[in-house]
Structure 1
Amino acid sequence: MRPLRRKRSKQNVSDSSSSSSPSGSQSLDLNNGPIPPKSPRLDEIAPPPAVSNTHFLDINDDCIDSICNLLPLDDLCSMGRTCKRLHCIAGDYFQRYYPNNHVRIQSFRRRSVFYMYPDEKYVEDLKPFIRNVSIHEYKGSACVKYLKENFSVNLREIALHGIHCELNAAHGAQIKDQLERLESIKFVNCSVGDIYDCFLKHCQKLKHLGIDEPIQFNGRVNWAQQHFPTLESIAYYDEANTNRADFAGFLRRNPQIKQIACKGTNIQGIVFQRAKNLDFLILCYNSDKDFNRIFKLLKVYSENSETRHIKLEFKKRLELDHFHKIASIQRVDAYRGYLVENLQFPEIVASMKQLSVVQLRSFGNVSQVYVKRLASSLSNLEELHFTAQDMALSFKNLIIPFCQNPKLKKIVIFSKQIIYRCTKSDVADINKVREPLDTESKLTIYMEKEVIVSMNFKIPDKCKVTLKPLSELKREVHLFDL
């Protein structure tokens, strides 16, 4: 009986030892301690959980829009060629951040269309999203068909050149759908007597109307007899004062207009009488005589009206005496014209404390001393525009004197000649000038894209200067030189 008991006790000990192991995965050896567990076989290992990969098209539109913000225009066009959704996203971004998108149609010949392309070749890739079209030869059905096929949904601005409208002409009726979406329409050297019956009566959302050098019309000018409830601005350039438009009646019927650009002394005289509470008044002159003829009325208007901003534009070079008159006009805060190559000119400009926008047409054989004096005299300058093709100074010597002004926010250079006069180090030198200034905003310089590409300059994040192509510059509504 004893051996039997002894055998049972060993069995109990072994059972208790196995039950006392923490997880049952390792056993106890009385002599050598715990026995390590056996490693599992490869076929017994459970596979890791599958990781779900997010496709680019699964990202929402806001994230894709942020990615678009990092792409140059060429890459944006490439992205738009991949699929319809990305094409729409690229087009929407293109419209919002490249407001200077446009195409100029020179002529229609034998079923072919001759373009004058912008310098940035985005027309073919993003053609459905082009907002501005200028047509210099209107060829009836050929033009209508082309507009419908290529610029139907997103077209917002159209400029028509040299159309001789006939009474009850079907030009506008053929593109009625496009006209109903338009926000801006411009007529250049057109017979404007019946543009209302042809075009304007279809423009239900019109905000900007432009008429430049209208052809004399002996009948009734019916567009001036209408009320346009959505119209915000008008540019009316009738230098010869030959058109029989009742412009005073037009302003009386449309008191909601807050921006007027005009040329011609008769038209300007009417504006001084009828529009005394504008946001912007732009007065354009082709000769000294026109300015002298209207100067007294303009000075009285600037002293007694509530118009916020007055801009003067001159197509020809003025004498120094005229700037004494301009300086006496209180509300002039923008000037577009030529420089007077006289050392007294900066002193006259210095008396115009309110001058904040300057657009210069010429920068010929002026010295660097002259540029420095001019820059120091423009103490409140916020915007500086260059359209000169005859710059003798280098890019750095021309720009840096103006960059020392902490209020300067934007420089626009329309000249391609600057490509031969700027280097990669020039932007770094401009940044060194801007760094010690007490300003948080960056200085934005707009220029031709090929100039920016040729500089091959990568702007660091903390740089106070940024370069942008002209396609990202918002165009002025009253300009006709598209």
Structure 2
Amino acid sequence: MGNKQSQATVFAPLDSESSKIFNLTIDCFDEIFEYLNVKDLHSFGQTCKRMNKVAGEYFKQNYSSAPKECREDGIYMYCWDKDGVVNKRIQISGFNRFMPCISHYHLSLPKYIKSHINEFESTNHIHLREQRINSIRIKHFKRMLPQLEIVQHRECSMDGDFYDLILKYCKNLKVISVQSSDVGNRKNGKLNWLLQKYPKLERLELRPSDCCLIEELREFFVRNPNVQRFSTSSKFLSKNGDILLSSNAKLDILQVKRCNIISRFPLELLNRLHEQGFYKRLYIYTRSVDEELSTSLASVRGLELLCIWPFDKSYNLAELTNLRELIIYGESSAEDMENLANGLIRLERLYIDWANVNDIMPFIRRSPKLNKIKFIPRDEGVVLKLAMLNAERAKLAGARKIIIYTRDDVFLATKWTTRNGDTNLSFIEIRRADSIKWEHYD
């Protein structure tokens, strides 16, 4: 794979579906694909139908959470090469069959989906953004609605009732997500879509652009007892606190986003909701933290996930000893990382952006329950020294194996420079960042 001649041979059209290359096992193909960026993987998949299936399945497993944008002439995404260079947006329409999620951006909804609707057999998630949602635009992907499990719209306006336009056709809905968007028109003064039953629904995200009282939430939770996660903003939570307290809902997770230290968190309300059983586990996503807030968070019941953007200082966050997941954005000091790693003894997942290897080393050395790290470096050309990381992790008694999910350029550079291309050691393994769906700050 290391020379141009061999690559040209691989990417040339195959004369027959019975080519000897198909004597290789799936494991062999997967190992070959580990050395390719998504642009070359897509080229590999265009050589014949059988190769499209093999390469497409690898794409589905390793790029499932990568943003994929639908345009007038196809589906596009960005890719990195092993030198840390972002290539131009590339078309990946040859993998339409293997895309769990597709996104539509801006005002014009492409007609491409309508003309290729039968190809999107794996798509269960549609993300509409910056759109005016109406019956004309919905018709382009209406045939896809029955297979969808996730319907998400962000920064959108809506002409009509959300249920009549989309939701009533989605028989397999597990997630409804409204982010900084219009909640739809009211019928007889009520939000009709919140008064329906969705038998398979597991999660509702409601962060409307207009933070108003929504009385229909009481009835929604009564009609949909299978919902286990409710996501909203701190402002909406404060506005509708009495409604939620009187809803008698029993959720597993309450996810509070768009928190702001200027307006403060509704800490007392959160504890009241936890006390009456509205939620068991709490996820908070905040815009920065100061010393007062970092101290106050220790009194919030059920807090298991904390996301901070931007992150500039740890303050007293190390006292959040029940925290299981930490997501941080921004430059940090070695002292901050040492303090956090020493205090967050139950930490299982760490997402760290704009970072360097020294930022994750304290957690590798001191967090025995940690098993997943998503590491997005601030620099280009980063190569992970897996043998060293593995040796450091092995020193910690009772340590769990850590999978490090990282940007494609880091994965590729490490793969190409690691002896025998071994990226799966006893205590450390690396994978492509887009192979896992990690809900970070949005």
Q: TM-score, normalised by structure 2?
A: 0.79
Q: Compute the displacement of 1:350 (Å).
A: 3.4
* Residues in 2 aligned to 1:341 and 1:176: alpha-carbon distance in whole angstroms: 45
* 2:196 match: 226
CA shift digits 1:143-184 (9 cap, x unpaired)? 5435527x5322211111233345xx2433442221111111
What one-letter code is carried by the residue in structure 2 that aligns with 1:399? I
Conservation of the 8 A alpha-carbon contact between 2:196 and 2:223 = yes
CA shift digits 1:281-333 (9 cap, x unpaired)? 211134235544x221101222341733211111x223211122211012101
- Work out whether 1:260 is the aligned partner of 2:260: no
Q: Compute the displacement of 1:99 (Å).
A: 2.8
Q: Compute the displacement of 1:252 (Å).
A: 1.9
* 2:180 match: 213
CA RMSD of aligned residues (A): 3.2
2:167 equivalent among 176, 197, 200: 200
Conservation of the 8 A alpha-carbon contact between 1:350 and 1:379 = no
- Work out whether 1:180 is the aligned partner of 2:146: yes
2:436 equivalent among 456, 469, 473: 473
**Alpha-carbon distance change, 399 to 95 in structure 1, aligned in 2, over 3 angstroms:** same
- Work out whether 1:100 is the aligned partner of 2:72: no
* Residues in 2 aligned to 1:143 and 1:238: alpha-carbon distance in whole angstroms: 29
- Work out whether 1:454 is the aligned partner of 2:423: no
Conservation of the 8 A alpha-carbon contact between 1:410 and 1:445 = yes
CA shift digits 1:326-373 (9 cap, x unpaired)? 110121011001477557x2xx3333221110000222xx43233212
**Alpha-carbon distance change, 195 to 414 in structure 1, aligned in 2, over 3 angstroms:** farther
Alignment of 1:82-481 (within 5 A): 82-105=47-70, 108=72, 112=73, 115-119=76-80, 123-139=92-108, 142-145=111-114, 148=117, 151-166=119-134, 169-192=135-158, 193-215=160-182, 219-220=186-187, 221-238=191-208, 240-242=210-212, 246-263=216-233, 264=236, 265-267=238-240, 269-274=242-247, 276-288=249-261, 290-292=263-265, 294-305=266-277, 307-314=279-286, 316-338=287-309, 341=312, 345=315, 348-363=316-331, 366-388=332-354, 391=355, 395-404=356-365, 405-415=367-377, 417-419=378-380, 422-424=382-384, 426-439=385-398, 441-455=400-414, 456-458=416-418, 459=422, 462-476=425-439
Conservation of the 8 A alpha-carbon contact between 1:238 and 1:267 = no
Q: Compute the displacement of 1:223 (Å).
A: 1.3
What one-letter code is carried by the residue in structure 2 that aligns with 1:408? L
Q: Compute the displacement of 1:409 (Å).
A: 1.0
**Alpha-carbon distance change, 451 to 122 in structure 1, aligned in 2, over 3 angstroms:** farther
Q: Compute the displacement of 1:452 (Å).
A: 2.5
Secondary structure of 2:379 counterpart: helix
**Alpha-carbon distance change, 384 to 140 in structure 1, aligned in 2, over 3 angstroms:** closer
Secondary structure of 1:126 counterpart: helix
CA shift digits 1:390-427 (9 cap, x unpaired)? x5xxx232121111122111111234x2335x445x43
Conservation of the 8 A alpha-carbon contact between 1:99 and 1:475 = no
Q: Structure 2: where are the runs of 5+ without partners?
A: 1-17, 82-89
Secondary structure of 1:274 counterpart: coil
Q: Structure 1: where are the runs of 5+ without partners?
A: 1-53
Conservation of the 8 A alpha-carbon contact between 2:309 and 2:441 = no
CA shift digits 1:443-479 (9 cap, x unpaired)? 1111111122234432466442112111211243xx7
CA shift digits 1:241-289 (9 cap, x unpaired)? 1375722222222111111111112345544443642222211134235
**Alpha-carbon distance change, 125 to 442 in structure 1, aligned in 2, over 3 angstroms:** farther
CA shift digits 1:19-50 (9 cap, x unpaired)? xxxxxxxxxxxxxxxxxxxxxxxxxxxxxxxx
* Residues in 2 aligned to 1:67 and 1:164: alpha-carbon distance in whole angstroms: 46
* Residues in 2 aligned to 1:474 and 1:237: alpha-carbon distance in whole angstroms: 20
Q: TM-score, normalised by structure 1?
A: 0.73
* Residues in 1 aligned to 2:407 and 2:374: alpha-carbon distance in whole angstroms: 10
Conservation of the 8 A alpha-carbon contact between 1:181 and 1:203 = yes
Q: Compute the displacement of 1:77 (Å).
A: 4.4
**Alpha-carbon distance change, 349 to 203 in structure 1, aligned in 2, over 3 angstroms:** same
What one-letter code is carried by the residue in structure 1 that aligns with 2:251? L
CA shift digits 1:131-154 (9 cap, x unpaired)? 2111013535725435527x5322
* Residues in 1 aligned to 2:329 and 2:434: alpha-carbon distance in whole angstroms: 20
1:72 equivalent among 10, 22, 33: 33
What one-letter code is carried by the residue in structure 2 that aligns with 1:184? I
What one-letter code is carried by the residue in structure 1 that aligns with 2:375? I
Conservation of the 8 A alpha-carbon contact between 1:302 and 1:329 = no
Q: Compute the displacement of 1:113 (Å).
A: 5.9
Conservation of the 8 A alpha-carbon contact between 2:129 and 2:153 = yes
**Alpha-carbon distance change, 82 to 438 in structure 1, aligned in 2, over 3 angstroms:** farther
Conservation of the 8 A alpha-carbon contact between 2:403 and 2:431 = yes
What one-letter code is carried by the residue in structure 1 that aligns with 2:127? A
* Residues in 1 aligned to 2:203 and 2:214: alpha-carbon distance in whole angstroms: 20
Conservation of the 8 A alpha-carbon contact between 2:74 and 2:93 = no
**Alpha-carbon distance change, 211 to 99 in structure 1, aligned in 2, over 3 angstroms:** same
* Residues in 2 aligned to 1:340 and 1:253: alpha-carbon distance in whole angstroms: 40
What one-letter code is carried by the residue in structure 2 that aligns with 1:134? S
Conservation of the 8 A alpha-carbon contact between 1:338 and 1:361 = yes
